[in-house]
Amino acid sequence: MWKAEISPHITVVEEGEHMQVAWHGSASVSLEWKDGPRLCIDPMFSRAGDYGPWFIPNPGAPNWEDYLRLFRPDLVFVTHGHFDHFDVETIRRFVNDTQAIFLGNSSVIATVQRYFHAPAKRLLALEPGHQVDIMGLAILPVEGVHWLCGEEGDRAAAKFASRPDRWGVMPAGGPMLQAFIGPQGSHRPARWQVYVSGDTMAEGIPHLEADLAVMNVGTGVTNPITKEPEKVIIDLDDAARVISEKIRPQVVMPVHFDHDGVFLQPLNRGDIQRTLRDVPPHPQVLIPPYNTWVDVPGLTGT
């Protein structure tokens, strides 16, 4: 395997045999199947000047031109309507500069259409519990448990829509969607190839096993209303329990923990590695460098 530096934020790795993943910082991830589609999850690539002073940029965001050359997706999946997952200025670029199909809850998809007039053939609203087959992939969305989502999220998004100074803070409501993903027709009913957690809390995660678990992990945040610390995403102990009791992956890829300024306390990468690999079934813990295609160890793509 070889790699060549392209820019401070981009590294190229020789194409793997079966399945590859790339981490673009925060919760932004790309998945690529051999002879199959390329899926981008929660792309957040905007810079500080793209929004107001409230905005906290993603530390691993790639240069847009380099991203298109190396990671241009066929599908873009937005897990929910919060700024660090539904980055509307980044989605604007995807609408204009790619032919990607957008997947998300009905509120996310309606927002993409309303703001950017994406054609209907590039929009697919996902309903929790209803599997869709697209480009050779089977995708099962599952509603998660997260703050300011669902009907509460709809109300919050409507309030922000009337605040131009808060453009992009929360562009959409609707449910927070996890997803189980596998090659169409090849996954087993009780075990999928990939699990994507989104920002769900542990109690929202079902008992469905997957080979690769892409898990958003963090610490507390400050509630903007009460100004008190609040737990709104799985922490490291939750992740360990979910890995052991529910998903039981061969490989776990923790993400989102690196987004300084979003969470109240940092998570040390060494602690993440030690905690997650030491719980049954003792998965490999994959924390790749930013913007680098890497093989997913142990996955065969079937």
How confident is the model at residue 186, as a pLDDT?
63
Of all helices (H) and strands (E), which one includes residue 29? Answer: strand 29-33
The identity of residue 67, as a single letter, is Y
Q: Could you report the per-residue pLDDT of 135-178, keeping only the tens digit for each?
A: 999 999 999 999 999 999 999 999 999 899 999 999 999 999 99
Q: Does domain 3-290 have CATH number 3.60.15.10?
A: yes
pLDDT tens digits, one per residue of 2-40: 232 333 344 333 344 489 999 999 999 999 998 899 999
pLDDT by residue, tens only, the chain of 302 residues: 223 233 334 433 334 448 999 999 999 999 999 889 999 999 999 999 999 999 999 999 999 999 999 999 999 999 999 999 999 999 999 999 999 999 999 999 999 999 999 999 999 999 999 999 999 999 999 999 999 999 999 999 999 998 999 999 999 999 999 999 999 886 666 799 999 999 999 999 999 999 999 999 999 999 877 889 999 999 999 999 999 999 999 999 999 999 989 999 999 999 999 999 999 999 999 999 999 999 998 874 44
Instruction: Find the helix packing angle between 88-97 and 64-71, rounded to 10°.
Output: 60
Integer Cα distance of 20 and 17 in angstroms: 8
Phi/psi of residue 53, nearest 5 degrees:
-65, -10
CB 48 within 8 A of CB 31: no
What residues does each domain of the chain span? Answer: 3-290
Distance CA 220, CA 259 (A): 12
Which residue in the block uniquely carries the two structure tokens 């079966």?
18
CB 285 within 8 Å of CB 276: yes
| Phi/psi at 90 (5° precision) | -70, -40
Crossing angle of helices 106-116 and 88-97, rounded to 10°: 70
Residue by residue, DSSP assigns 178-213 as EEEEEETTTSBTTEEEEEE-TT--GGG--S-EEEEE
* φ, ψ (nearest 5 deg) of residue 282: 55, 60
Residue found by looking up tokens 């049954």 in the block: 280
